[in-house]
Amino acid sequence: MKRTVLDYALKIRLPLTLFVIAVSFILTFYISRAERDGVGYSPEQPINYSHKLHAGQMNIDCKYCHVGTEKGRHALVPSANICMNCHTLARKDRPEIIKLKKYYDEGTPIPWKRIHKIPDYAYFNHSVHVNKGIQCETCHGDVKQMEVVSQVKAWTMTACLDCHRQPEKFVPYVKEIKKGPENCWACHR
Amino acid sequence: MSSSFEKNKYWKSISDYNNSPESIKAKHDEFLEGVVDNFDSSKLSGMSRRKFLAVLSSSAALATTACSDYRDKGEIIPYNKRPEEILPGEANYYASTCTACSLACGILIKTREGRPIKIDGNPDHPVNKGKICAKGQSNILSLYDPERLKEPKFGNQTISWEEADFKVIEALNNAVKYNKQIVIFTDKIFSPTLKKLLNDFSVKYPTTKVYSYSLVNDKNKRDAWFESYGSYEIPSVKWNEAEIILSLDFDFLGNEGNFVENMRLFSEKREVVKKLDVNRLYVAEGRFSATGMMADYRLRISPNQQLEFIYAIINELSDAKVISVDTAVKNLVSKYSVEKFGSKEKINNLLKDLSQHKGKSIIQAGESLSKDVHIAVNYLNELLGNNNLYDWENLDSYYQIASAKEIEELIDDMNSEKVDVLIHLNSNPVFNLPQSFKYKEALKKVKNVITLTEAENETSYSSNITLPINHILESWGDAFNKTNVYSTLQPVINPIFNTRQKESILLSWINQKYDVNDFRLYLINNFNELIYNKLKPLTDQKTFWQTTLHDGVVKFEGDSTPKKFNTSSLSKLNNTNNKESFTLHLTESYYIGDGKFANNGWLQETPHPVTKVTWDNYAAISPKLAKKLNVEINDLVEITHNNQKVILPVMVQPGMSDNIIHTELGYGRSIIGEVGKDVGVNVIPLISKDLSLIVENVSVKKVDGKYQLVSTQEHHSLDDTFVKDLHRVRKIIQEGTVEEYKKNPKFLHEEKHELVSITREHEYKGNKWAMAIDLNKCTSCSACITSCNVENNIPVVGKDQVAVGREMQWMRIDRYYSGTPEEPIVSNQPMLCQHCDNAPCENVCPVNATNHSEDGLNQMVYNRCVGTRYCSNNCPYKVRRYNFFNFRDHFEDSYYENNLTAMVHNPEVTVRSRGVMEKCTFCVQRIMEARSNAIRDGKPLNGNDIKTACQVACPTNAISFGDANDINSEVAKLRKHDLSYHVLEELNVKPNVTYIAKLRNTHSEGVI
């Protein structure tokens, strides 16, 4: 039987094209996954603040600056007056501290770049998690070792639900932890 | 089922009663005609689907690649110096006082991140005890009204405060210099500090005269009380001790008297679940009021016959030797008999009850009735020994109201150019004074007209200078709720616009300079003089002021000696004018007041408690009169009185007197924001110069044309095409009488049979949320609806959308009539999502956007919903609401879609957009808050810690909420009570809202 152009197109060219498309799609999907989930996002901040220095080296508790974590929904990004508790005296001569002092004196808030974000239609409550004994690192990664903060974990509904379903696997350090709620209104309302 | 119900026939409107084809169709169809817009393919764009998708995808691709920083998540802006008491995400509460009406209820304002988002009653307040009405709740929307006045104005020009002050002070000084009058025309004054301020103003500017005016007031009642007891301070009534109540057109459960307190006390004597010692309410009225709906016996007596009626009762009781009447009075009343006022049985019951419950019954007359009626009522209460139900420890504080004669004098002064400066202090006389006074014309003769107002109104348009004033949430102040209950107002937000509070403005004119703190210091000074020096507490002045401000209220011992009845007042009693004329009865609107709240969309859209009409007023007439005039609902009638004509749409209202027309005031504002403009008809022109709200000798005739009144009642009907008495047969309303219940406590459940489920039952091991609603207590006041609106970010949809059944309120109060159109009996039923265990909506959702949680909630997930509306179709209770539009954007050219109004939103609840279904959530945000608090405190979650918004608001405590699995909770007990039932029980959907059947306290065992 004579090979026709049509044969070539149907038997070789088409499957090959489809294969290339499928492979490139699958590769892109998996390779870009982290990027799409926001993992590794570390924008430049208005003040070059180091968590490694403050939380790591000096071992200041997260909750000293991020107040409200035990009381309510938000873990607050500290207001400038908390920084100034120390920096009215400490390291007044450093360029970043001079920047901070300028913000504080002018009364303008510092526009920190947002790194972790949950969609508007999900209502996350810090106090519920923190008061159960879940540590900040479990979701936010080891911030104590970060010079510039970046997102290290995927911020997806799957990530929430994985832990809610199998807390013993994700937060083994919390004793006698029960499963988290899985109903919709636990987060969406 | 008991025998009493067989006579009963429930119907919702006249057309329903007659089984008209429209009514049948409305019930048969899920959505009204027009709910879904007609689709005309020729009007569509010519672009093909393929091309559209190509453009769409290429632009999307461009958008994603072209934007440089697609990972950017914006910024977090923390405080620079965080105020210690503010923790973002957590609410703060401040106590203050409501000034929506003169009751001055204590309120608790919830603020988030410094912006007020909800007003509730102050639970520590001794009078309103944590409850406020619909107006007070919705007042928060007026704070964020985009059309508030933002700057002082001179004519149409914006000027600075300094310029305005300069002009005014100059005018004031000139007036004093040339000995011309300065007039302050104000609303009711119930603030002692404002009263003092006005005195100080008169001292500084000696030619000042103050007129306090309100179209709707209780002047007749106060004047009569003064005649009878020599005081204007009327004691509260101990409604909770009264066994027999006779209300003569007194809407004490609606909007007359201290209705918030009245409702609470009245319902304390209606706790049928606890004790059967309940009161019996007789209502004699011509219109159909909210109080009339609660009546055990209702007599149809028009307002101009009430005097005759009370004389007849006095006569009959004295003939029966129950009371001994003064001879002069006996002569006066002897010619009246009770026969013509109703069926013999009802009247006999009334007379018997009054004579058998001497000292434990109370008679009260409506505020619009004449002084004679009130004196006669006071006298009869005295004779029956009912005066021991007066609560002499709680006296309503008195505020003066200018009489019609004084107003006429003022207008004469204006016309003869004696008045040089006229200051309107938060009043709107151009709208509120009857046109026959010709106030607007007289204003032209006054050189300087100054109006202090929150938003432009009819009066400010006739003024030279218009000054914007603060909303109450931005103001300092105080009030006397009772003579011995003093409460404070404190601001919870800085003035949003360039406004000042009205007291500050007056004070700056006295001091000739303005300082924002001046009035606060003035207030504290007055507080020290008035309260601190009187009470002499052990703390210092500053601490005592701070504590009072924190609590919002201070109560002290007042003079509580009962006053003696003054028999000389009886000489003031007149003969009745016995003429049976055609009467127009005007009452204040339940929700928009005297027009003050006409620009508040939430209040305009709250359905009228009886007719369920929204966005309109109308001429309510009886079916018999409608027949006589040959009109039907939505026809137009012309009402004429004193050469003034008003055309109104007709509402055929069952149960009305045949010779009266009833209409509400407050509608028809012409100069107001976009929302309230030309809503309804202004009927004030019909009022005569005597300012009586009972207008006699009106003539009425049908005129051509039609109008569309929209009511929420015929929407969301239950399908009862095939069986006429479906509400009875399907047991949507179940009720009985006290006698019947005494005889057989299980009468509701006699015909109950076991329901078999075809599916496996789900077990609820932890909490299970449930609600119980006591129908004995619901007065249909709609405080719950408005509270839900504010809490859950319910949008205003507008009249056109209500007309096609798209109102968004998660809660509605259904009103069913039974009996005949002449003598209907009303059953009210709050209806909301029942959170059924076997919810029919859940099975039909193709995307699983509605499903069940393990704590028994029927969840609706907006971000999953694709808007098929199957759930609503399959809901037997018709409680689901669909966003046909983004209503904030759709209503009145996005009136409520702006950065200012967005501040009213509760940040804990999603603002829903177009295309999603929504419904009552049992306030899941409050459940979650209680849960997080329990985790924080390391305690188990207790259902009693959770209060839903409707429950908090309900003035009669008819709603209870809690954990049905906690056997000690109130809800769990009510669910097991003999009187509890579920609506549409036989569907076996297992609702979690339990209703407590209404028991009527009639003499017989039958309801009718």
Residues A26 and A56 in one domain: no
Are both B313 and B381 inside the same structural domain?
yes
Chain B residues close to A114, C-beta within 8 Å: 73-76
Chain A with chain B: Cβ pairs closer than 8 A = 130
Residue B738 backbone dihedrals phi, psi, to 5 degrees = -60, -40
Three-class secondary structure assignment of B819-875:
ECCCCEEEEEEEECCCCCCCCHHHHHCCCCCEEECCCCCEEECCCCCCCCCHHHHHC
Put simply, the answer to whether B859 touches A185 (Cβ < 8 Å) is yes
Kindly provide the ipTM of the predicted complex, given to two decimals.
0.88
Residues B258 and B339 in one domain: yes
- Are both B182 and B140 inside the same structural domain? no
- pLDDT, chain B, mean: 89
Whether residue B18 is found in the same domain as residue B130:
no
- Please, which pLDDT band fits residue B748 given cuts at 50, 70 and 90? confident
Q: Please determine, for residue B575, whether its predicted confidence score (pLDDT) is greater than 80.
A: no
B88 closest CB neighbour out of A76, A104, A127: A76
pLDDT confidence of residue A105? 93
Cα–Cα distance for residue pair B256/B418, rounded to 1 Å: 37
With CB atoms and an 8 Å threshold, state whether B859 touches A183: yes
SS3 B603: helix
**How does pLDDT run across B421-440, given as a tens digit for each residue?**
999 999 999 999 998 899 99
> Is B408 contained in some domain?
yes
A43 lies in a domain? no
* Residue B749 covered by a domain: no
Asked if residues B719 and B612 have their Cβ atoms less than 8 Å apart, the reply is no
Q: Do A80 and B864 touch (CB under 8 A)?
A: no
CB contact under 8 A, A128 and B73: no
Contact at 8 Å (CB) between B854 and B764?
yes
CA separation for the pair B194, B189 (Å, rounded)? 7
Single out the residue in B682, B711, B740 at which a domain terminates: B711
Of residues B963 and B42, more confidently modeled: B963
Give the nearest partner residue to B82 out of A81, A117, A181, using CB atoms: A81
Rounded Cα gap, residues B568 and A182, in angstroms: 75
For residue B290, the model assigns a pLDDT of 94
Q: Is the Cβ–Cβ distance between B852 and B840 less than 8 Å?
A: no
- Which candidate in B69, B75, B112, B909 is best for mutational testing of the A interface (most A CBs within 10 A)? B75
State whether residue A47 sits within 8 Å of chain B by CB: no
Task: Look at residue B38 and tell me if it is in a domain.
Answer: no
Q: In terms of domains, do B901 and B771 share one? A: yes
Above pLDDT 90, what percent of chain A?
64
pLDDT for the residue B560 = 80
Whether B849 shows a pLDDT value over 90: the answer reads yes
Q: Across the interface, which of B88, B909, B935 has its CB nearest the CB of A128? A: B935
Are both A73 and A14 inside the same structural domain?
A: no
The answer to which of A77-91, B165-179, B792-806, B994-1008 has the lowest mean pLDDT is B994-1008
Residues in chain B: 1008
Looking at B379, B395, B411, which one is the last position of a domain?
Answer: B395
- If you average pLDDT over residues B813-822, what whole number do you get? 85
The pLDDT tens digits of the residues spanning B851-910 come to: 999 999 999 999 999 999 999 999 999 999 999 999 988 888 888 889 999 999 999 999
Regarding whether A69 and A12 lie in a shared domain, the answer is no
- Please check the confidence at residue B253 and state whether its pLDDT lies above 50: yes
Query: Is B754 contained in some domain?
Result: no
Residues B224 and B298 in one domain: yes
Cβ of A109 within 8 Å of Cβ of B77? The answer is: yes
What is the percent of chain B where pLDDT is above 70? 94
My answer on whether A61 and A17 are in the same domain is no
Q: What is the pLDDT of residue B718?
A: 44
Q: Are residues A72 and A17 in the same domain?
A: no
Are residues A61 and A154 located together in one domain of the fold?
yes
What mean pLDDT is predicted for residues B928-950? 91
Task: Determine which of A37, A185, A187 to mutate to test the interface with B (most B C-beta atoms within 10 Å).
Answer: A185
What pTM does this model have?
0.90
The confidence score (pLDDT) of residue B578 equals: 59
> Which H or E element spans position B228?
helix B219-229
Of A38, A78, A132, the CB nearest to B78: A78
Claim to verify: residue B294 and residue B352 sit in the same structural domain: yes
- Residues 6+ away with beta carbon under 8 Å from A89: none
Phi and psi angles of residue B303, each rounded to the nearest 5 degrees, phi first: -60, -30
CB pair distance less than 8 Å for B78 and A128: no
Please say if the pLDDT value at position B727 is more than 80.
Answer: no
**Percent with pLDDT over 90 in chain B:** 64
Is residue A118 located within the same domain as residue A27? Answer: no
Q: What percent of chain A has pLDDT over 70?
A: 99
Which of B854, B932, B938 has the CB atom closest to A125's CB atom?
A: B932
- Per-residue buried b or exposed e for B139-176, using 16+ beta carbons within 10 Å of the residue's own CB: bbbbbbbbbbbebbbbeeeebebeebbebbbebbeebb
Bridge partners for B639 per DSSP: B646, B700
Smallest CA–CA distance, residue A161 to chain B, in Å, is: 15
For strands B448-453 and B465-468, give the pairing: parallel
A106 is a domain residue: no
pLDDT at B337 over 50: yes
pLDDT at B47: 78
Do B720 and B695 belong to one domain?
no
Euclidean distance between CA atoms B567 and B227, whole angstroms: 9
> Is A189 close to B909, i.e. CB distance below 8 A?
yes
Same domain, B276 and B340: yes
* A93 is a domain residue: no
Q: Do A64 and A11 fall into the same domain?
A: no
B859–A113: do the CB atoms touch at under 8 Å?
no
pLDDT category at B722 given cuts 50, 70, 90 is very low
Half-sphere exposure of B27 (CA within 13 A, CB side): 20
Picking from B69, B79, B762, B864 by the largest number of A CB atoms within 10 A of its own CB, the best residue to mutate is B79
pLDDT at B65: 65
In a shared domain, residues B776 and B841: yes
Residues 158-187 (A) with a CB less than 8 A from some CB of B: 181, 183-186
Residue A103 in any domain: the answer is no
For residue B230, being part of any structural domain is answered with yes
The H-or-E segment that residue B181 falls in is strand B181-186
The domain total for chain A is 2
Whichever domain contains B703, its CATH number is 2.40.40.20
- In chain A, what residues touch B939 (CB-CB under 8 Å)? none
When CB atoms are compared, the residue of A72, A79, A189 closest to B78 is: A79
Whether residue B540 sits in one domain with residue B442: no
Q: Is residue B73 part of a domain?
A: no
Q: How confident is the model at residue B723 (pLDDT cuts 50, 70, 90)?
A: very low
Q: For the domain that residue B454 is a member of, what is the CATH number?
A: 3.40.50.740
Answer yes or no: is B601 within a domain: yes
CATH number at residue B388: 3.40.228.10
Q: What is the mean pLDDT of residues B581-589?
A: 90
pLDDT tens-digit series, residues B750-764: 877 788 887 788 888
CA distance B826 to B778: 11
Give the nearest chain B residue to A105 (CA atoms). B80
Our CA-based measurement puts residue B849 at a distance from the nearest CA of chain A, in whole angstroms, of 9
Average pLDDT over residues B372-383: 92
Residues of chain B found within 8 Å of residue A37, distances taken between Cβ atoms: none
Choose the mutation target among A184, A187, A188 for the interface with B, i.e. most B CBs under 10 Å: A184
Q: Taking CB atoms and an 8 Å limit, are A184 and B864 in contact across chains?
A: yes
Q: What is the pLDDT of residue B579?
A: 66
* Residue B280 to residues B350, B694, B833, B999, B1000, Cα–Cα distance (Å): 10, 27, 32, 11, 8
- A27 and A63 part of one domain: no
Return the pLDDT at B573: 78
Residue B188 domain-assigned (yes or no): yes
In a domain, A67, yes or no: yes
pLDDT tens, residue by residue, A19-56:
999 999 999 999 888 888 888 888 899 999 999 999 99
Q: What is the pLDDT of residues B636-695, one digit of tens each?
A: 999 999 889 999 999 999 899 998 999 999 999 999 989 988 899 999 999 998 899 999
* Structural domain count of chain B: 5
State whether residue B785 is helix, strand or coil: helix
Residue B568's pLDDT is 82
Give the pLDDT score at B714.
Answer: 67
- Cross-strand partners of B706: B635
Residue of B nearest to A131 (CA): B936
pLDDT at position B726: 63
Token couple for B309: 């009626």
Distance from CA of A159 to the nearest CA of B (A): 18
Last residue of a domain, one of B375, B395, B415: B395
Is A49 near chain B, with CB under 8 Å? no
Is residue A22 included in any domain, yes or no?
yes
Mean pLDDT of the A87-116 span:
91
Lowest-pLDDT range, B102-111, B131-140, B722-731, B873-882? B722-731
Residue with tokens 């007789």: B282
**One domain for residues B549 and B620:** no
Show the domain range for A140: 51-77+112-186
What distance in Å separates the CA atoms of residue B611 and residue B618, rounded to the nearest whole number?
10
pLDDT in tens, B763-793: 888 899 999 999 999 999 999 999 999 999 9
| Chain B residues touching residue A79 (CB < 8 angstroms) | 78-82
The boundaries of the domain holding residue B607 are 583-711
| Model confidence pLDDT, tens digit, residues B458-498 | 999 999 999 999 999 999 999 998 889 999 999 999 999 99
Residue A12 lies in a domain: yes
Rounded distance between C-alpha atoms, residue B296 and residue B1008, angstroms: 10
- The answer on A56 and A22 residing in a single domain is no
Exposed, middle or buried: residue B886 (CB in 10 Å: 0-12, 13-18, 19+)? Answer: middle
Residues A178 and A126 in one domain: yes
Beta-carbon separation of B88 and A114 below 8 A: no
Residue B129 buriedness (CB in 10 A; 0-12 / 13-18 / 19+): middle
From chain B, pick out residues whose CB is under 8 angstroms from the CB of A112: 75-78
Q: Are the CB atoms for B132 and B255 separated by under 8 Å?
A: no
* A177 lies in the same domain as A121: yes
Q: Do B925 and A76 touch (CB under 8 A)?
A: no
**In-domain check, residue A91:** no
